[in-house]
Structure 1
Amino acid sequence: MITIATDGSCIGNPGAGAYGLVAQGNGLLIERAIPVAATTNNEMELRGLLEALLLYADSLQSQGPATILCDSQLAVKGYNEWLDGWRSGGWRKKGGAIAHLALWQEIAFLKSLVGDRVAVQWIRAHQNRGTINDRVDALANACARSQRAVNGPALQDTLDGFAERLAAAYPGRTGTAASVPSPATIRAPGTHTPEDAGTVLSAARRLITDRLGSDPHAIALVTRIDAVLAA
């Protein structure tokens, strides 16, 4: 059994931040923390969860099932209770737009891959008992203050083929899932395709959606990008 604790930190909220994880079990110990110059606490919590899911899907599945521990109610309830409703509702909620939509879609994609092999559970923060959660809390906070990565870069920024497989699973990033690749094919070791215009536009779309959400100008720009990508 693998246990992965995640945490996000933001100095000032908004402000400089970081997200991190500590994974242990079966003789393994993996620590990672990634700084972000300008962010929010919620974004860091979600990126921590996303990084844990990617780590498991990419390299830890052979170790058996995993439990991800997270002290963010937003991340845990979103993963366990809200994702299906958001997807069936066209990626909107009753109150309007979903904050950090692009991150939630990536998390939903990974949830489709790992299925019931991964459980996401809430854990109380700041227990100060030397737990794995206390360890990742200290790791993320130190990274947020120093803005120096620990065992980076992040998989969500570098994993071969992740962006392409995500785009295939969510055409136009509207939440309509196409065929989802098997967990074994999330990464093809030794393969890499040069960055092209489509990859750049997809990355720009993700950034615009994540940062600006339902802003009318952002929606108009995303619509134009979608038209180019579909051409």
Structure 2
Amino acid sequence: MSSQEIIEVYTDGASLGNPGPGGYGVIMRYKQHEKEFSKGFRLTTNNRMELLAVIEALKQIKGSGWQVVVYSDSQYVVNAIEKGWLKKWQQRGFKNTANADLWKQLLPLLQKHRVRFVWVKGHAGHAENERCDCLAVQAAQHGALHIDHAYEATIHEHNAKKPSKE
């Protein structure tokens, strides 16, 4: 494939408080076409938003077999793929793996396309990363925030297991 046939994806996630309100931002490019989108959540973590940005971007790609390059400032996301952590987590059934619900959503999307991850240093003047950060923060700060149901369910489970202070 020529470089014109690569879909470039730039992603970033943000959480104000970690956990706290959060959001993700995405820029997607194919040839001369560009698309930006973002979404905010009322209670989540930075790692969840970094990962959800990639998931939501890959969901936007119609068909299969595309060559995709994902640029992210999240070492958590990039290393999980590039260093094989995700395969190890999958082999052990995601036991004791943070954000297992999201990693399970990502797996079939990675199998659908030829995806390569590239780490970019955050807050270092990388234009697309800076824009994605802006989108993510704005999404976390403004508008009707969505519910990260899986995350909030784990918080409720954790709190239910705590002994009462009565």
TM-score category, normalised to shorter length: 0.7 to 0.9
Shift in Å, 1:133: 1.4
Residues 210 and 53 (structure 1), Cα distance of their counterparts in 2 relative to 1, 3 Å cut: farther
Corresponding residue number in structure 2 for 1:122: 119
SS of 1:98's equivalent in the other structure is coil
Point out where structure 2 has 5 or more consecutive residues left out of the alignment.
Answer: 1-5, 161-166
Matches of residues 163-202 of structure 1 in structure 2 within 5 Å?
A: none
Q: Which runs of 5+ in 1 are unaligned?
A: 154-205, 219-231
Distance 1:134 1:78 in 2: 23
| Distance (whole Å) between structure 2 residues aligned to residue 33 and residue 76 of structure 1 | 20
Q: Report the residue type matching 1:145 in the other structure.
A: Q
2:138 pairs, out of 121, 142, 148, with: 142
1:182 match: none
Partner of 1:43: 48
Aligned Cα root-mean-square deviation (Å): 2.7
Structure 1 counterpart of 2:27, from 22, 28, 33? 22
Distance verdict in 2 for CA 1:4–1:208, change over 3 Å = closer
TM-score by length of 1: 0.58
Aligned to 1:84: 87
Higher strand content, 1 or 2: 2
Note closer, same or farther for the CA distance 1:53–1:210 as it changes in structure 2 (3 Å cut): farther
Contact 2:7–2:68, Cα closer than 8 Å, also in 1: yes
Alpha carbons of structure 1 residues 8 and 28: separation in structure 2 relative to 1, 3 Å: same
Report SS of the residue matched to 2:43: strand
2:154 alignment partner, one of 212, 215, 227: 212
- Cα deviation, 1:64-108, whole Å, max 9, x if unaligned, reads 52211111111111123211111112222xxxx111111011111
Question: Greater share of helix residues, 1 or 2?
Answer: 1
Asked which structure has the greater RCO (Cα within 8 Å, sep 6+), the reply is: 2
- Per-residue deviation, 1:217: 10
Query: Hey, what's the Cα distance between the residues in 1 that align with 2:73 and 2:117?
Result: 10
Aligned residues, how many? 152
Q: Percent identity?
A: 30
Given residue 46 of structure 2, which amino acid in structure 1 is its aligned partner?
A: N
| Per-residue CA distance 1:104-133 (angstroms, 9 max, x = gap) | 11111211222xx2211111101225x211
Q: 1:53 aligns with which of 46, 58, 61?
A: 58
Q: Deviations over 1:6-53 (max 9, x none)?
A: 110111111111112001130111000001011111111111111122
Query: Secondary structure of the residue that 2:138 maps to in structure 1?
Result: helix
Q: What amino acid sits opposite 1:90 in the alignment?
A: G
Provide the residue aligned with 1:160 in structure 2.
none
What does residue 105 of structure 1 align with?
104
- Give the conservation status (yes or no) of the 8 Å contact 2:44–2:151: no
